[in-house]
Amino acid sequence: MVRVQKITLAHGAGGRETSEIIESFFVRKFRIKKVSSGFGLDELEDSSTIPLPDGNYLAITVDSYTVNPIFFPGGNIGKLAATGTLNDLAVMGAKPIATMDSVVVEEGFEIKLLDEIVSSMREILEKYGVALIGGDFKVMPKGQLDKIVITMAGLGIIPKDRLISDYNIKPGDKIVITGTIGEHGAAILTAQSGIGVEDQSILSDCAPIIEAMETAFEIGGIHAAKDPTRGGLAMALNEWAKKSKLTIIVKEENIPLRENVKAYCEMLGVDPLTLASEGRALIAVSPEKAEELVDALRSKGYRDAAIIGEAKKGKEGYVLLETITGGLRVIETPVGEIVPRIC
């Protein structure tokens, strides 16, 4: 239960405080929380679902993007909005078909920048044949909004034979990540802190994961998938452990992390496990399919794909890290601001 009297930046950071707000003010307050047997507020998946008469499912997602700076190494707020929307559909097994957006800009915002942002959004959507079918545009008086906020909703179709859920993880499932972690968070962090402004070696990994998910479904044995955005790998794994009522153990030495990201995190005192990725899929897969999945991902260009851990029976809701030195430590749900306005 939320005990503070005012909202803080931590409540929007994607960690424990965000979960408390959602639970207290939405999950508990609303009685009608799903349509028929679909996923809704109680499940809190990356997309909600509505069963269709033909046995398939309509997937629906919505998110607001407030990233600062709006242009960052590796992308901008438009690319991020389109990517994040498609990824939230893809990790549910959905094939994205349409989006809608709501754009609010500050009075005096440069038309040139708006054009670049919208063009980036269009480029992502059109690459995957996804329509922008409508939306809204508003302007706030100067000083009453920080530049631009984009809200985007996405629609997709989930074939009846590939609906997956965070609750479906089984004991023995292997945990696969499709690439190196924390790069979006590190790029935003360095841009906000002013460290590394001249060093463009850290770029956001912002990119759709549609190909990776299609590869996973071709291999089969997929029980759950997630894009580890706000709160990073730490938050995603904790959500999985809590929902599946299992213990998840990951090996530090197997988690792919670029050396430059590791160095920045050490310099700034940030745990890379809590930093957002915007172009990675975390996949829970049957053990007999795990190696085949990693090989297939690597053959498709996901060179750093790796098996990083396993779900096991044990203390419900715990995530443990097997360190390089052989010890075990608990990976906690992230708390505090982490990186404000990361997406």
- Which domain CATH number covers 98? 3.30.1330.10
Q: What's residue 212's pLDDT?
A: 98
In a domain, 115, yes or no: yes
In a domain, 306, yes or no: yes
In a domain, 266, yes or no: yes
DSSP 336: S
Reported for 213-217, long-range contacts at CB under 8 A and 24+ positions apart, including other chains, are 213/90, 213/91, 213/93, 213/281, 215/293, 215/296, 215/297, 215/300, 216/281, 216/283, 216/285, 216/293, 216/297, 217/93, 217/162
Half-sphere exposure of 330 (CA within 13 A, CB side): 9
In a domain, 75, yes or no: yes
Number of domains in the chain: 2
Same-domain pairing of 83 and 198: no
Q: What's residue 5's pLDDT?
A: 85
Q: What is the pLDDT along the chain (343 residues), one digit of tens a residue?
A: 567 789 998 888 888 899 999 999 999 999 999 999 999 999 999 999 999 999 999 999 999 999 999 999 999 999 999 999 999 999 999 999 999 999 999 999 999 999 999 999 999 999 999 999 999 999 999 999 999 999 999 999 999 999 999 999 999 999 999 999 999 999 999 888 876 545 568 999 999 999 999 999 999 999 999 999 999 999 999 999 999 999 999 999 999 999 999 998 998 889 999 999 999 999 999 999 999 999 999 999 999 999 999 999 999 999 999 999 989 999 999 988 778 889 9
Q: What is the CATH number of the domain that holds 295?
A: 3.90.650.10
Give me the domain span that covers residue 267.
Answer: 166-330
In a domain, 256, yes or no: yes
Distance of alpha carbon 314 from alpha carbon 158, whole angstroms: 32
In a domain, 337, yes or no: no
| Final residue belonging to a domain, choices 103, 131, 158 | 158
Q: What's residue 197's pLDDT?
A: 47
Same-domain pairing of 91 and 139: yes
Distance of alpha carbon 72 from alpha carbon 147, whole angstroms: 14
Q: What's residue 4's pLDDT?
A: 74
Same-domain pairing of 127 and 256: no
Same-domain pairing of 178 and 106: no
Same-domain pairing of 51 and 153: yes
- State the pairing for strand pair 131-140/148-158: unpaired
Q: What's residue 165's pLDDT?
A: 96
With b for 16 or more beta-carbon neighbours within 10 A and e for fewer, the 149-181 pattern comes to bbbbbbbbbbeeebbbbbeebeeebbbbbbbbb
Give the CA diameter of the chain.
58
In a domain, 26, yes or no: no
| Final residue belonging to a domain, choices 130, 158, 186 | 158
Q: What's residue 14's pLDDT?
A: 84
- With H, G, I as helix, E, B as strand and everything else as coil, classify residue 156: strand
Same-domain pairing of 251 and 317: yes
Distance of alpha carbon 343 from alpha carbon 58, whole angstroms: 25
- With H, G, I as helix, E, B as strand and everything else as coil, classify residue 259: helix
Same-domain pairing of 129 and 224: no
